[in-house]
Amino acid sequence: MEIIVKDTVDEASAIVAEILIRQVEEKPDSALGLPTGATPLGVYARLIEDFRNGRGCYNRAHAFNLDEYLGISGSDTASYAFYMRENLFRHIDFMQRSIHIPDGSAADASAEATRYETQIAARGGIDLMFLGLGRNAHIGFNEPGSPHDTRTRRVALSASTMEANARYFEPGSRQPTHAITMGIGTILESRSIVVLATGIEKASAVAVSLAGPIADAVPGSALARHARTTIVLDRDAAHELDRILALEIDA
């Protein structure tokens, strides 16, 4: 595992964007696993800027979203399908047929999860998985307690995750309580993984994921099972990890 700490969010986002661009430069038909939320926005903005400046080509690449809310359609402004269109896909040259997102409006969530897992397998798995890290150390929507061998499936969202995501829903609107997510086992089969965590609110999750024991109670700790994982942090997110590592050195 490689850990990179930069002083600012912008610098950390630039590192991750560069990793993604180099991936498609080296393998134009790469399968990319992509996240949503606030953390990736700086990365996506940089990818768009670089594309407009002539760097980065995605017309042979495939995109696989990590997750999608259940109970809403891809046209809903709160859906992750909408998020990805607005924040990345409509600004660069991904082919529509190469964009893969679970169908949150599917009547049978288990069947949809199986279909999505089959799509990933048909592409030969994920070449580069880009992850964020939740405040409770979730990856994708794999909440604490998720076994590390899980596949794409329907999951219930924790209260802390729903609280963190409530800002993305209009006041008075119904916030989904479930989602379809790639499982940790699916994620760990990726050929390489890059994780971005920024902000002081992620410091505890970073520390317990990277410096604690590997356990189902800490989804992020599963990353230690993968040989080609790069963790990119800003100084705030690395705060508690720096303290723990300093204590270990002093001991």
Positions marked active-site:
67, 136, 138, 143
Quickly tell me which residue has 């080609």 as its tokens. 228
User: What is the rounded distance in angstroms from the CA atom of residue 186 to the CA atom of residue 188?
Assistant: 6
Beta strand segments in the chain, E:
2-6, 31-34, 62-65, 67-69, 99-100, 128-131, 153-156, 178-181, 192-197, 229-234
Q: Where does residue 124 fall: left (phi above 0), alpha (psi -120 to 50 degrees), or beta otherwise?
A: left
The C-alpha atoms of residue 174 and residue 72 are separated, in whole angstroms, by 10
Which residue type sits at 180?
I
Residue 146 phi/psi, 5-degree rounding, is -70, 125
- Burial tier of 142 (Cβ tally within 10 Å: 0-12, 13-18, 19+): buried
Q: Is 96 in contact with 107 (CB distance < 8 Å)?
A: no
Q: Between the CA atoms of 10, 16, 18 and 24, what dihedral angle is there, to the nearest 10 degrees? A: -150
What is the residue type of 110?
A: S
